[in-house]
């Protein structure tokens, strides 16, 4: 970086909100056992787009009420936003809140008409809306200041519960690792009035369970409902390393209690955000203490204006990695799995349970794909993931296009070279879960069953998590 590049510049920020709720009737994604398509709207799904610029570099951060945006669509949307704003597409971050009550994207599973056409139209609509929202946020840029803070809220619980027989299930592991931090970034105008607030936490958005057939942002909705009237500005939620963290109330069973639980978690998150936000000062700070003599001797402080808002560091890094999966089996094993899953699918299709049919079809699609690779002579296959990082002064945001387990986020935050670091999953795509090495000896859904649902030909290896952690830390250290 040249000496000129390191000179401080004025920070500019703009934000825009758009509705991204699809038409009723698109299949929901998140619960394979779900028994139907979308039937109504619990709350509108939204996209909140934040533009940060120093006049030379620009970063676009979008928080979306979606499970995630698949990488192929994410790349297309990011490039379209980049073209609209005249910036590199890699400077755009698309983070999904990971709500399990959002629309399915084309390609997640084979679909017949009219479902396929509905999903295709929605993907085109989403691109247009996000490009428009980014353009609006860009046009609304104004001089801004930024401050950060941290709180804590008991939103979740580690879900990798070990039964007496050694099996790991999706349950409650109250002694398991967890990150309860609520990260807050306050973005104000020069008078200290809010432009936007960024909040981040790590917890699966599954309070409303698979019996719910409504579009919903889950507990992020009630959190917004509390935050935004209080501040008079949009809030932007970014989902953290939530791979093995479920809501403390569990996955909703379908009764009215799940809506009460959703509101409770939303109020916890929103309330903690407001508490932290109120402690961050951007436009002035307390000056030297003065002693005043009244009936008693009193100390007092006058507020002094904060110096002009400047940015010395605004930079982005992106890295794409192709990492190997576990070796594929021999042909006999692949053929046996194909026959077994075909029989299960045929039996399910003869029944009346759509959820059972969905699971059986997914398992057969996985076995069919793997058999095709094995029959072609492949033994090793790779998957591509994206690591992304940005720095603004002493604040960093890093992400991975996967579902990282909480251990990855805790380690990256602990070892980050910058004092305030957010680590996100579900960003710019999502290839599946990334467990820490020690989880592979235990098994469980995040290690074993998840690769069926994500249509990975085989499981990840224990080397994935260390690779992601070390590469992310390298990227953070290299941002200037």
pLDDT tens digits for range 336-389: 999 999 999 999 999 999 999 999 999 999 999 999 999 999 999 999 999 999
Q: How many domains does the chain have?
A: 2
pLDDT higher than 90, residue 311 = no
Cβ count within 10 A of residue 331: 12
Task: Give the relative orientation of helices 257-279 and 220-231 as an angle to the nearest 10 degrees.
Answer: 40
pLDDT higher than 90, residue 2 = no
pLDDT higher than 80, residue 4 = no
Q: Are residues 83 and 201 in the same domain?
A: yes
Share of the chain above pLDDT 90, in %: 94
For the chain, the average pLDDT equals 95
Residue 32 lies in a domain: yes
Share of the chain above pLDDT 70, in %: 98
Q: Are residues 186 and 80 in the same domain?
A: yes
Band (pLDDT 50/70/90 cuts) for residue 297 is very high
78-83 CB contacts, 8 Å cutoff, 24+ apart:
78/428, 80/127, 80/130, 80/131, 81/130, 81/131, 81/134
For the chain, how many residues are written? 480
Among the listed ranges 91-95, 284-288, 445-449, 467-471, which one has the minimum average pLDDT value?
A: 284-288
Among the listed ranges 88-102, 108-122, 416-430, which one has the minimum average pLDDT value?
A: 108-122
Residue 342 lies in a domain: yes
Q: Are residues 47 and 145 in the same domain?
A: yes
Residue 384 lies in a domain: no
pLDDT higher than 60, residue 421 = yes
Q: Are residues 108 and 209 in the same domain?
A: yes
Domain of residue 154, residue span: 9-278
Report the pLDDT value the prediction gives residue 104, as an integer from 0 to 100.
96
Q: Are residues 50 and 149 in the same domain?
A: yes
Q: Are residues 109 and 229 in the same domain?
A: yes
Q: H or E element: which one contains 131? A: helix 115-139
Residue 231 lies in a domain: yes
Q: Which of these three, 278, 310, 345, is where a domain ends?
A: 278
Averaged over 221-245, what is the pLDDT? 98
Report the pLDDT value the prediction gives residue 351, as an integer from 0 to 100.
94
Q: Are residues 267 and 368 in the same domain?
A: no
Q: Are residues 229 and 334 in the same domain?
A: no
Averaged over 389-416, what is the pLDDT? 97
- List, as one string, the DSSP characters of 257-268: HHHHHHHHHHHH
Residue 283 lies in a domain: no
pLDDT higher than 60, residue 3 = no
> Using CA atoms, how far apart are residues 297 and 302, in angstroms rounded to an integer?
16
Residue 105 lies in a domain: yes
Q: Are residues 230 and 351 in the same domain?
A: no
Q: Are residues 247 and 349 in the same domain?
A: no
Residue 22 lies in a domain: yes
Q: Which of these three, 375, 409, 430, is where a domain ends?
A: 375
Residue 244 lies in a domain: yes
pLDDT higher than 90, residue 452 = yes
Report the pLDDT value the prediction gives residue 6, as an integer from 0 to 100.
59
Looking at per-residue confidence, does 94 or 110 come out higher?
Answer: 94
279-288 CB contacts, 8 Å cutoff, 24+ apart:
279/149, 280/147, 280/148, 280/149, 280/184, 280/186, 281/147, 281/192, 281/306, 282/145, 282/146, 282/147, 282/186, 282/188, 282/192, 282/306, 282/309, 283/145, 283/188, 283/190, 283/191, 283/192, 284/192
Averaged over 138-146, what is the pLDDT? 96
Q: Are residues 208 and 341 in the same domain?
A: no
Q: H or E element: which one contains 169? A: strand 168-170
Q: Are residues 241 and 120 in the same domain?
A: yes
Q: Which of these three, 375, 394, 412, is where a domain ends?
A: 375
Q: What are phi and psi of 321, to 5 degrees?
A: -120, 135
């Amino acid at each position: 970086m040249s000496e000129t590049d390191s000179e401080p510049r004025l920070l500019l920020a703009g934000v825009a909100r758009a509705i991204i709720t699809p038409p009723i009737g698109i299949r929901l994604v998140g619960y394979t056992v779900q028994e139907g398509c979308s039937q109504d709207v619990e709350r509108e799904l939204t996209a909140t787009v934040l533009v940060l610029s120093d006049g030379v570099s620009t970063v676009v951060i979008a928080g979306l009420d979606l499970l995630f945006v698949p990488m192929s669509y994410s790349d297309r949307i990011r490039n379209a936003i980049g073209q609209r704003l005249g910036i590199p597409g890699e400077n755009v971050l698309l983070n999904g809140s990971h709500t399990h009550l959002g629309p399915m994207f084309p390609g997640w599973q084979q679909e017949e008409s009219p479902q396929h056409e509905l999903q295709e139209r929605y993907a085109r609509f989403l691109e247009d809306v996000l490009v428009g929202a980014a353009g609006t946020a860009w046009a609304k840029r104004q001089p801004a200041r930024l401050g950060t803070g941290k709180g804590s809220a008991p939103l979740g619980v580690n879900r990798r519960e070990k039964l007496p027989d050694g099996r790991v299930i999706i349950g409650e592991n109250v002694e398991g690792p967890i990150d309860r931090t609520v990260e807050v970034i306050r973005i104000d105008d020069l008078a200290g009035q809010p432009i936007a607030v960024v909040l981040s936490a790590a917890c699966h958005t599954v309070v409303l369970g698979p019996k719910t057939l409504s579009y919903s942002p889950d507990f992020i909705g009630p959190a917004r409902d509390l935050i935004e009237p209080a501040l008079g500005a949009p809030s932007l939620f970014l989902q953290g390393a939530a791979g093995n963290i479920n809501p403390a109330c569990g996955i909703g069973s379908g009764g009215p209690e799940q809506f009460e639980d959703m509101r409770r978690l939303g109020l916890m998150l929103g309330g903690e955000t407001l508490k932290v936000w109120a402690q961050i000062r951007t436009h002035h700070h307390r000056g030297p203490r003065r002693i005043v003599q009244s009936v008693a001797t009193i100390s007092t402080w006058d507020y002094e204006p904060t110096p002009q808002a400047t940015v010395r560091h605004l930079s982005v890094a992106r890295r794409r990695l192709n990492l190997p999966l576990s070796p594929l089996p021999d042909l006999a094993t692949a053929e046996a799995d194909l026959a077994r899953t075909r029989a299960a699918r045929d039996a399910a299709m003869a029944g009346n349970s759509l959820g059972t049919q969905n699971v059986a079809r997914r398992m057969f699609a996985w076995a069919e794909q793997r058999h095709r690779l094995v029959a072609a002579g492949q033994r090793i296959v790779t998957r591509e993931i994206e690591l992304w990082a940005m720095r603004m002064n002493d604040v960093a945001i890093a992400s991975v296009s996967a579902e990282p387990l909480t251990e990855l986020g805790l380690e990256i935050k602990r070892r980050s070279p910058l004092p305030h670091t957010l680590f996100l999953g579900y960003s710019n795509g999502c290839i599946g879960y990334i467990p820490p090495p020690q989880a592979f000896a235990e098994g469980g859904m995040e290690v074993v069953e998840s690769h069926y649902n994500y249509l990975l030909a085989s499981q990840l290896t224990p080397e994935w998590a260390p690779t992601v952690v070390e590469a992310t830390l390298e990227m953070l250290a290299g941002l200037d």
